[in-house]
């Protein structure tokens, strides 16, 4: 099976991303947290995750019962393998523009 395959040819079920792909994404977020300081401020990988989801996947305004409106970023959980790969590639490109790269294992 190739990384670009998104559905099982037998049952049609959508393939989910691998644990390794998810781990790579979080390593990238940790590298961004260490290497990018907007306005001199440090942000953790979780904050960068929310930022990335909002920027590349979009978000919805959700009105709460108390009348407040919060912005809820779209989730990466429902992305197909190809969509997740495209998303991570966009985050990688953005990070590279800021001098952040992950070391590739040999």
Please say whether the beta carbons of 99 and 35 come within 8 A: yes
Instruction: Give the tokens for residue 4.
Output: 């670009």
Whether the pLDDT of residue 9 is over 70: the answer is no
pTM of the model: 0.81
> Residue 4 — pLDDT band, cuts 50, 70, 90?
very low
Residue of 63 and 11 predicted with greater confidence:
63
Phi then psi for 62, rounded to 5 degrees? -120, 120
CATH fold of 19-97 reads NinB fold (1.10.3790)
> Residue 103 — pLDDT band, cuts 50, 70, 90?
confident
Whether the pLDDT of residue 101 is over 50: the answer is yes
CA dihedral defined by 32, 35, 39, 97, rounded to 10 degrees?
Answer: -70
**CA–CA distance, 85 with 35 (Å, rounded to integer):** 22
| Residue count (the chain) | 106
**What Cα–Cα distance (Å) separates residue 84 from each residue in 7, 36, 39, 88, 101?**
14, 22, 29, 6, 19
> Residue 98 — pLDDT band, cuts 50, 70, 90?
very high
Please say whether the beta carbons of 8 and 15 come within 8 A: yes
pLDDT in tens, 18-75: 999 999 999 999 999 999 999 999 999 999 999 999 999 999 999 999 999 999 999 9
Q: Quick one: pLDDT at residue 104?
A: 67
Domain ranges of the chain: 19-97
């Amino acid at each position: 099976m190739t990384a670009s395959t998104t559905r099982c040819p037998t049952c049609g079920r959508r393939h989910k991303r691998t644990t390794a792909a998810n781990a790579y994404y979080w390593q990238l977020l940790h590298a961004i947290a260490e290497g990018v300081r907007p306005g001199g401020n440090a942000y953790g990988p979780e904050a960068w995750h929310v930022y990335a989801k909002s920027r590349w996947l979009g978000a919805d305004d959700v009105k709460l019962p108390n009348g407040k409106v919060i912005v809820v970023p779209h989730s990466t959980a429902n992305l197909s393998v190809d969509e997740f790969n495209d998303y991570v590639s966009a985050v990688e490109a953005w990070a590279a523009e800021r001098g952040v790269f992950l070391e590739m294992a040999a």
